[in-house]
Chains A and B, each alone.
Chain A
Amino acid sequence: MSGHAEAAHAEEHAGSTRLFLIVWISLVVITMGEVYIAYLEFPAVTMLLMLIGLSVLKAGLIVAYFMHMRFEKFGLFLTLVPATIFCIGMMTVIFPDSMRLFHIRMLH
């Protein structure tokens, strides 16, 4: 295989420079959108949901394209991502307790 053909083959499997530039510009635009949203004075829960939603979108772009997950075997995704999401979900179990503590402290 010639050098050019090898390079084209590698790009086909790991994304092209143009694709990475599009992803990078998308990440910067989403970041600017987050900063804009932060100044719109939404209620805290609405703000948190919007910012976390956009951050998850950014994380997805980074993992899929910059970390090449999209170009790996699907088995890697199935092994790592659902288990990680499950563990993160389990950590949120303690969160409602903070609201209980808030109300107790407000009463005293």
Chain B
Amino acid sequence: MTESHSEAVAGAWSGGGSPYAMGHKKLGMWLFIVSDVMTFTALLMAYSYSRVANPDWPRHVFPIWPAIAFSTTMTVVLLASSLTMVMAVAAAHRGNRGATVKWLLATMAGGLIFCALHITEWFHLIEEGVRLFRNPWGSPLFGATFFGITGLHMTHVMCGVFYLGVIAFGFGTSRFSDEDVEVSGLYWHFVDLVWMFVFPMVYLMSVKY
């Protein structure tokens, strides 16, 4: 083994330079995202388990209006906010602070519209008698799993809106770098990604024909 090779190996085992060619914040966010994937997978698995295990599970509860129309609109709004987030990251990499802040504000607006639509959709179900541990259609677990999964997702969206607000302010005032914008973008796209599984598994698998 040559001396330079030994030094390189020793360097890597002492923490190395940057094995993934990215900063620690970005790698940290990726690791957080993987852990959160496990949380949502466990919840969706529990939902599917309960649905299959209970013969009286309400299987056709969401009519096209308002539930499916609202949830489809929410999906498109969240996808649109991901596109504005991509534009914010691109503007940040170009060093255009004004454009970055505008795209971040547009992304936050998308998140707020998503939450407003979702809360309205929740009230539709509450009016129909769905609660955490009872509903008019069957297994009481339906309400707990539905509100648990969609509620945790909405909490992520609300936290994301706050997070983007902090980043927009910090980047606009030159306190944060473009890497911070990119890291917040990873979080926001992850929130979008989770909804891509919640929407079909919770809503589309239970449409009312």
A34 touches B79 (CB 8 A): no
B90 touches A (CB below 8 Å)? yes
Known: A41-B209, A59-B196, A94-B49. A76 touches B68 (CB 8 A): no
Give the total number of A-B pairs whose CB atoms are below 8 A apart: 135
Q: A70 an interface residue at 8 Å Cβ cutoff?
A: no
Contacts of A106 in B (CB 8 A): 55
**In the complex, what residue of chain B is closest to A52 when comparing beta carbons?**
B200
A63 in complex: contacting residue of B85, B94, B193, B197, CB < 8 Å: B193
| Interchain nearest-CB distance for A88 vs B (Å) | 5
**CB-CB under 8 A for A34 and B204, given A59-B193, A62-B192:** yes
B45 to chain A, nearest CB (A): 5
Q: How many A residues touch B, CB cutoff 8 Å?
A: 54
Cβ proximity bits A75-87 to B, threshold 8 Å, 1 near / 0 not: 1100110011001
Interface residues of A in 33-58 (CB under 8 A from B): 34-35, 37-39, 41, 44, 47-48, 51-52, 54-55, 58
Q: Are B201 and A51 in contact (CB under 8 A)?
A: yes
Q: Report the nearest A residue to B20, measured CB to CB.
A: A76
A24 touches B41 (CB 8 A): no
Asked if B82 is an interface residue, CB under 8 A from chain A, the answer is yes
Interface contact A92-B94, CB-CB below 8 Å: no
